[in-house]
Protein backbone atom coordinates (compact mmCIF):
# COMPACT_ATOMS: atom_id res chain seq x y z
CA UNK A 1 0.00 0.00 0.00
CA UNK A 2 1.35 3.40 -1.00
CA UNK A 3 0.05 6.37 1.01
CA UNK A 4 1.34 9.40 -0.86
CA UNK A 5 -0.41 12.54 -2.10
CA UNK A 6 2.17 13.34 -4.81
CA UNK A 7 0.92 11.83 -8.03
CA UNK A 8 4.45 11.97 -9.53
CA UNK A 9 5.84 9.64 -6.87
CA UNK A 10 2.93 7.21 -7.20
CA UNK A 11 3.49 7.11 -10.99
CA UNK A 12 7.24 6.63 -10.49
CA UNK A 13 6.60 3.61 -8.24
CA UNK A 14 4.00 2.10 -10.55
CA UNK A 15 6.22 2.51 -13.59
CA UNK A 16 9.44 1.35 -11.96
CA UNK A 17 8.44 -1.67 -9.93
CA UNK A 18 7.27 -4.62 -12.05
CA UNK A 19 3.55 -5.25 -11.59
CA UNK A 20 4.11 -9.03 -11.73
CA UNK A 21 6.13 -8.72 -8.49
CA UNK A 22 4.14 -5.98 -6.78
CA UNK A 23 0.45 -5.41 -6.51
CA UNK A 24 -0.01 -1.72 -5.69
CA UNK A 25 -2.81 -0.18 -3.71
CA UNK A 26 -2.69 3.59 -3.58
CA UNK A 27 -4.07 6.20 -1.30
CA UNK A 28 -3.75 9.98 -1.37
CA UNK A 29 -4.49 10.58 2.30
CA UNK A 30 -3.96 9.05 5.72
CA UNK A 31 -7.46 8.00 6.77
CA UNK A 32 -8.10 6.23 3.48
CA UNK A 33 -4.60 4.70 3.62
CA UNK A 34 -5.26 3.16 7.04
CA UNK A 35 -8.51 1.66 5.71
CA UNK A 36 -6.66 0.24 2.68
CA UNK A 37 -4.05 -1.38 4.95
CA UNK A 38 -6.86 -2.95 6.97
CA UNK A 39 -8.63 -4.16 3.82
CA UNK A 40 -5.78 -5.61 1.77
CA UNK A 41 -3.38 -6.69 4.56
CA UNK A 42 -0.28 -5.67 2.51
CA UNK A 43 3.30 -6.98 2.79
CA UNK A 44 4.68 -3.47 3.15
CA UNK A 45 3.43 0.12 3.51
CA UNK A 46 5.16 3.08 1.85
CA UNK A 47 4.11 6.21 3.70
CA UNK A 48 4.63 9.89 2.91
CA UNK A 49 4.81 11.99 6.09
CA UNK A 50 3.20 15.14 4.67
CA UNK A 51 -0.37 14.16 3.86
CA UNK A 52 -3.38 16.41 3.21
CA UNK A 53 -5.56 15.11 6.04
CA UNK A 54 -3.72 13.57 9.00
CA UNK A 55 0.01 13.63 9.70
CA UNK A 56 2.08 10.62 8.61
CA UNK A 57 3.25 10.17 12.22
CA UNK A 58 -0.37 9.73 13.28
CA UNK A 59 -0.80 7.12 10.56
CA UNK A 60 2.19 5.19 11.98
CA UNK A 61 0.83 5.26 15.56
CA UNK A 62 -2.66 4.27 14.39
CA UNK A 63 -1.28 1.33 12.36
CA UNK A 64 1.00 0.21 15.20
CA UNK A 65 -2.07 -0.14 17.46
CA UNK A 66 -2.96 -3.32 15.59
CA UNK A 67 -0.41 -4.30 12.91
CA UNK A 68 3.32 -4.98 12.64
CA UNK A 69 3.31 -4.58 8.84
CA UNK A 70 6.64 -3.08 7.69
CA UNK A 71 6.31 0.69 7.21
CA UNK A 72 8.85 2.56 5.06
CA UNK A 73 8.55 6.32 5.32
CA UNK A 74 9.17 8.65 2.37
CA UNK A 75 10.62 11.96 3.56
CA UNK A 76 11.93 15.23 2.20
CA UNK A 77 15.65 15.88 2.41
CA UNK A 78 17.11 17.39 5.55
CA UNK A 79 14.22 16.62 7.90
CA UNK A 80 16.26 14.48 10.32
CA UNK A 81 13.87 15.13 13.21
CA UNK A 82 10.99 13.78 11.08
CA UNK A 83 12.90 10.58 10.34
CA UNK A 84 13.72 10.08 14.01
CA UNK A 85 10.12 10.73 15.07
CA UNK A 86 8.83 8.28 12.44
CA UNK A 87 11.27 5.54 13.46
CA UNK A 88 10.58 6.07 17.16
CA UNK A 89 6.83 5.89 16.43
CA UNK A 90 7.34 2.44 14.90
CA UNK A 91 8.32 2.90 11.24
CA UNK A 92 10.88 0.35 10.01
CA UNK A 93 12.91 2.55 7.72
CA UNK A 94 12.89 5.68 5.60
CA UNK A 95 13.83 6.83 2.13
CA UNK A 96 14.81 10.40 1.40
CA UNK A 97 13.23 11.92 -1.72
CA UNK A 98 14.35 11.74 -4.46
CA UNK A 99 15.20 8.06 -4.05
CA UNK A 100 16.16 5.47 -6.65
CA UNK A 101 14.25 2.29 -7.41
CA UNK A 102 17.36 0.30 -6.43
CA UNK A 103 17.32 1.90 -2.96
CA UNK A 104 13.61 1.27 -2.65
CA UNK A 105 13.84 -2.41 -3.58
CA UNK A 106 16.75 -2.88 -1.16
CA UNK A 107 14.73 -1.37 1.71
CA UNK A 108 11.65 -3.41 0.80
CA UNK A 109 13.74 -6.62 0.71
CA UNK A 110 15.15 -5.93 4.19
CA UNK A 111 11.68 -5.17 5.58
CA UNK A 112 10.13 -8.28 4.08
CA UNK A 113 12.91 -10.51 5.33
CA UNK A 114 12.60 -9.00 8.76
CA UNK A 115 8.83 -9.43 8.93
CA UNK A 116 9.02 -13.04 7.71
CA UNK A 117 11.58 -13.94 10.33
CA UNK A 118 9.42 -12.19 12.89
CA UNK A 119 10.68 -12.50 16.44
CA UNK A 120 12.35 -15.82 15.67
CA UNK A 121 15.71 -15.82 17.44
CA UNK A 122 18.80 -16.34 15.30
CA UNK A 123 21.63 -18.02 17.27
CA UNK A 124 24.35 -16.55 15.07
CA UNK A 125 24.83 -13.40 13.04
CA UNK A 126 27.20 -14.03 10.15
CA UNK A 127 27.52 -11.51 7.36
CA UNK A 128 30.25 -9.82 5.36
CA UNK A 129 33.05 -11.08 7.62
CA UNK A 130 31.39 -10.18 10.92
CA UNK A 131 30.39 -13.15 13.09
CA UNK A 132 28.46 -12.83 16.36
CA UNK A 133 27.75 -15.99 18.32
CA UNK A 134 24.94 -14.96 20.69
CA UNK A 135 25.21 -18.16 22.74
CA UNK A 136 28.92 -17.73 23.43
CA UNK A 137 28.72 -13.90 23.47
CA UNK A 138 31.67 -13.86 21.10
CA UNK A 139 32.48 -11.60 18.16
CA UNK A 140 34.90 -12.28 15.32
CA UNK A 141 35.94 -10.24 12.29
CA UNK A 142 37.34 -12.14 9.29
CA UNK A 143 37.88 -15.16 11.55
CA UNK A 144 39.78 -13.19 14.20
CA UNK A 145 38.18 -12.94 17.66
CA UNK A 146 37.48 -9.41 18.92
CA UNK A 147 37.10 -8.49 22.60
CA UNK A 148 34.31 -6.01 23.25
CA UNK A 149 33.27 -4.60 26.62
CA UNK A 150 29.85 -5.84 27.83
CA UNK A 151 28.25 -2.52 26.84
CA UNK A 152 29.88 -2.49 23.41
CA UNK A 153 28.65 -6.05 22.91
CA UNK A 154 25.09 -5.03 23.85
CA UNK A 155 25.14 -2.12 21.40
CA UNK A 156 26.40 -4.37 18.59
CA UNK A 157 23.78 -7.03 19.42
CA UNK A 158 20.97 -4.47 19.34
CA UNK A 159 22.03 -3.54 15.80
CA UNK A 160 22.56 -7.18 14.77
CA UNK A 161 18.99 -8.06 15.78
CA UNK A 162 17.84 -5.70 13.00
CA UNK A 163 20.40 -6.14 10.22
CA UNK A 164 20.05 -3.63 7.38
CA UNK A 165 17.70 -1.46 9.41
CA UNK A 166 18.43 1.87 11.00
CA UNK A 167 18.04 2.17 14.78
CA UNK A 168 17.58 5.65 16.24
CA UNK A 169 19.71 6.85 19.16
CA UNK A 170 16.66 6.51 21.44
CA UNK A 171 15.99 2.94 20.25
CA UNK A 172 19.61 1.96 20.87
CA UNK A 173 19.61 3.55 24.33
CA UNK A 174 16.37 1.71 25.22
CA UNK A 175 17.74 -1.59 23.92
CA UNK A 176 20.98 -1.35 25.88
CA UNK A 177 20.12 0.64 29.04
CA UNK A 178 16.39 -0.12 29.19
CA UNK A 179 13.38 2.18 28.74
CA UNK A 180 13.42 5.30 30.91
CA UNK A 181 17.23 5.52 30.89
CA UNK A 182 18.84 8.93 31.30
CA UNK A 183 21.78 8.28 28.96
CA UNK A 184 22.41 10.67 26.07
CA UNK A 185 23.35 10.18 22.44
CA UNK A 186 26.89 11.11 23.50
CA UNK A 187 27.08 7.79 25.40
CA UNK A 188 26.18 5.91 22.23
CA UNK A 189 28.81 7.81 20.29
CA UNK A 190 31.51 6.90 22.81
CA UNK A 191 30.69 3.19 22.76
CA UNK A 192 30.31 3.24 18.97
CA UNK A 193 33.81 4.68 18.67
CA UNK A 194 35.07 1.82 20.86
CA UNK A 195 33.29 -0.80 18.76
CA UNK A 196 34.61 0.66 15.52
CA UNK A 197 38.17 0.75 16.87
CA UNK A 198 37.89 -3.00 17.38
CA UNK A 199 35.85 -4.26 14.43
CA UNK A 200 36.63 -1.79 11.64
CA UNK A 201 40.02 -1.84 9.94
CA UNK A 202 39.48 1.84 9.02
CA UNK A 203 37.09 3.38 11.61
CA UNK A 204 36.71 6.55 9.52
CA UNK A 205 35.39 4.44 6.60
CA UNK A 206 33.27 1.86 8.44
CA UNK A 207 32.57 -1.42 6.69
CA UNK A 208 29.98 -2.78 9.14
CA UNK A 209 28.19 0.02 10.98
CA UNK A 210 26.98 3.01 9.01
CA UNK A 211 26.21 6.34 10.69
CA UNK A 212 22.87 7.77 9.60
CA UNK A 213 23.61 11.40 10.35
CA UNK A 214 21.18 12.97 12.79
CA UNK A 215 19.20 9.73 13.04
CA UNK A 216 21.16 6.73 14.33
CA UNK A 217 23.12 3.70 13.12
CA UNK A 218 22.62 0.84 10.69
CA UNK A 219 24.42 -2.51 10.57
CA UNK A 220 25.10 -3.22 6.91
CA UNK A 221 24.83 -6.58 5.18
CA UNK A 222 22.79 -9.70 5.95
**Binding-site ranges for Ca ion (CB under 5 A):** 5, 48, 50
Minimum Å gap between C-beta 79 and Ca ion is: 12
Minimum Å gap between C-beta 9 and Ca ion is: 8
Q: By C-beta, is 33 or 163 nearer to Ca ion?
A: 33
Q: By C-beta, is 11 or 117 nearer to Ca ion?
A: 11
Minimum Å gap between C-beta 10 and Ca ion is: 11
Rounded Cα gap, residues 84 and 215, in angstroms = 6
Residue nearest to Ca ion (CB): 50
Minimum Å gap between C-beta 73 and Ca ion is: 11
Q: By C-beta, is 5 or 126 nearer to Ca ion?
A: 5
Rounded Cα gap, residues 200 and 204, in angstroms = 9
Rounded Cα gap, residues 130 and 120, in angstroms = 20
Q: By C-beta, is 50 or 194 nearer to Ca ion?
A: 50
Closest CA to 169 of 180, 183, 157: 183
Closest CA to 32 of 48, 16, 11: 48
Rounded Cα gap, residues 108 and 164, in angstroms = 11
Amino acid sequence: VVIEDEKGIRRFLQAGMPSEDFEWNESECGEDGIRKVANVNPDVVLLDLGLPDIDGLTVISRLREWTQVPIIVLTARGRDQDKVAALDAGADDYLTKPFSLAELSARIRVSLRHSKKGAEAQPIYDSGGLLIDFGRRSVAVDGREVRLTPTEYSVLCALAKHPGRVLTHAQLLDAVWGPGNIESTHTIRVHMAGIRQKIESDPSHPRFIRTETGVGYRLMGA
